[in-house]
């Protein structure tokens, strides 16, 4: 287990350490890096458990890990294939079935965080049974969830929100939790999506929860805690996303954040997967989050902005960070670049 996972694991009944690893990351036929966030998340936060990647010929996305066939991966110790794609709707297309079957035939189990169950894939369950392999679905909601109470809980909470999906809410939450821990703060990363759960070893796949119980699940995710404890909660979707605003709102109400951090990709102009919708401004997200979040926490405030400046030069990133902070009069930083700007963002989170 790497440093990040060791700090955040909470000894759940089903944890990442119990899953068969090392992993071969499956990229399917993905051509948009935004839909391969599970693979990138595991590469960046659990890289020592990833032996390489496997993709169909149509795929143009790569994690930069060694390209391997399932047979090659198994020969160097891989124990499972992880579906590293999180496409719109979370479905497993027919074009993947042959490749997934190859993984089973090579002796690998399959781990999936998709909405579609592996057992629902035609022929896959029969192949797994015949070959003595496991099909492991992680995007399964807990049972007997309550509806939300809306009552204030002890402890402090930080939530990452976004101008869009797949632009850094998980990375920001992980980096903030790690930064607070390094400062001696009692902090815990709380995962709400399949990749975060694979990294942390615990959490709730919030978008798999029946909507009436989603805010209640968010309440359970960050229960009463010591007054000086901080839960850093992984955000989902965006209040401005035409498909996923519902899960974002439930998470906002249920987590009752004292502080939120807005995550933004300055290179993106339109909502991912919905080119007809322009990206909202950072200020619009701040205003909307405060307005809606006050229902369950009247004291909610924005600590600052987390920018995904991947692909920018250091000089361009620094200028973007500076200009963004000036525009909203709040700390702005790229947590993956670190530095003084990120330290100032952490200051605002305390």
CB 222 within 8 A of CB 157: yes
What domain range includes position 122?
A: 3-137
pLDDT in tens, 321-350: 999 999 999 999 999 999 999 999 999 998
**Distances from the Cα of 86 to the Cαs of 91, 114, 152, 182, in angstroms?**
8, 7, 33, 31
What totals of helices (H) and strands (E) does the chain contain, helices first? Answer: 12, 13
In a domain, 150, yes or no: no
Q: State residue 32's pLDDT score.
A: 87
CA distance 175 to 263: 12
Indicate the pTM of the whole model.
0.84
CA distance 338 to 123: 47
CB 241 within 8 A of CB 140: no
In a domain, 147, yes or no: no
In a domain, 250, yes or no: yes
Do 132 and 160 belong together in one domain?
A: no
**Residue 161 maps to which CATH number?**
3.40.50.300
CA distance 204 to 178: 20
Do 338 and 238 belong together in one domain?
A: yes
| Domain end position, chosen among 74, 108, 137 | 137
pLDDT in tens, 143-184: 889 999 999 999 999 999 999 998 999 999 999 999 999 999
CB 232 within 8 A of CB 162: no
Is the backbone peptide bond immediately before 22 cis, with ω within 30 degrees of 0? yes
Question: Which residue blocks in 207-331 are alpha helix, DSSP H?
Answer: 214-221, 245-255, 282-293, 314-328
- The first and second tokens of residue 215, run together, are 């805010």
For residue 170, the SS3 value is helix
Is 4 a residue whose pLDDT tops 80? no
CA distance 324 to 282: 9
Q: What is the CA radius of gyration of the chain?
A: 20
In a domain, 161, yes or no: yes
CB 282 within 8 A of CB 163: yes
Residue-by-residue DSSP string for 76-144: TT--EEEE----TT----GGGHHHHHHHHHTT-EEEE-SSS-GGGSTTHHHHHHHHT--EEE---PPSS
In a domain, 289, yes or no: yes
CA distance 24 to 165: 25
Q: How confident is the model at residue 16 (pLDDT cuts 50, 70, 90)?
A: very low
> At a CB cut-off of 8 Å and minimum separation 6, what does 214 contact?
206, 246, 247, 250, 251, 254
pLDDT in tens, 67-113: 999 999 999 999 999 999 988 778 899 999 999 999 999 999 999 99
**Residue 78 maps to which CATH number?**
3.40.50.720
């Amino acid at each position: 287990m790497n440093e990040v996972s060791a700090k955040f694991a909470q000894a759940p009944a089903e944890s990442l350490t119990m899953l068969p690893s090392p992993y071969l990351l499956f990229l399917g036929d993905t051509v948009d890096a935004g839909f391969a966030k599970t693979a990138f998340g595991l590469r960046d936060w659990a890289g020592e458990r990833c032996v390489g990647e496997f993709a169909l010929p149509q795929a143009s996305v790569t994690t930069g890990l060694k390209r391997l066939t399932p047979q090659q991966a198994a020969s160097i110790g891989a124990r499972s294939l992880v579906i590293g794609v999180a496409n719109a709707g979370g479905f497993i297309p027919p074009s993947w079935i042959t490749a997934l079957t190859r993984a089973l035939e090579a002796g690998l189990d399959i781990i999936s965080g998709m909405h579609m169950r592996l057992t629902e894939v035609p022929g896959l369950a029969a192949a797994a049974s015949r070959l003595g392999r496991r099909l492991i679905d992680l995007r399964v909601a807990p049972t007997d969830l309550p509806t939300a109470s809306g009552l204030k809980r002890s402890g402090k909470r930080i939530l990452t929100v976004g101008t869009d999906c797949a632009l850094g809410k998980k990375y920001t939450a992980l980096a903030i939790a790690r930064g607070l821990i390094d400062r001696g703060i009692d902090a815990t990363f709380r995962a709400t999506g399949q990749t975060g759960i694979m990294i942390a070893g615990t959490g709730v796949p919030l978008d798999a929860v029946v909507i009436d119980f989603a805010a209640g699940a968010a309440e359970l995710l960050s229960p009463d805690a010591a007054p000086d404890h901080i839960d850093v909660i992984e955000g989902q979707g965006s209040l401005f996303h035409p498909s996923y605003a519902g899960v974002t709102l439930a998470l906002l109400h249920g987590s009752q954040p004292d502080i939120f951090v807005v995550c933004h990709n300055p290179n993106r102009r339109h909502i991912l997967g919905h080119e007809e919708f322009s990206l909202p401004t950072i200020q619009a997200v701040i205003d909307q989050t405060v307005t809606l979040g006050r229902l369950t926490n009247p004291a909610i405030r924005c600590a600052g902005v987390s920018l995904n400046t991947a692909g920018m030069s250091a000089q361009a990133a620094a200028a973007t960070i500076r200009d963004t902070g000036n525009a909203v009069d709040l700390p702005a930083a790229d947590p993956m670049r670190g530095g003084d700007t990120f330290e100032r963002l952490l200051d605002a989170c305390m």
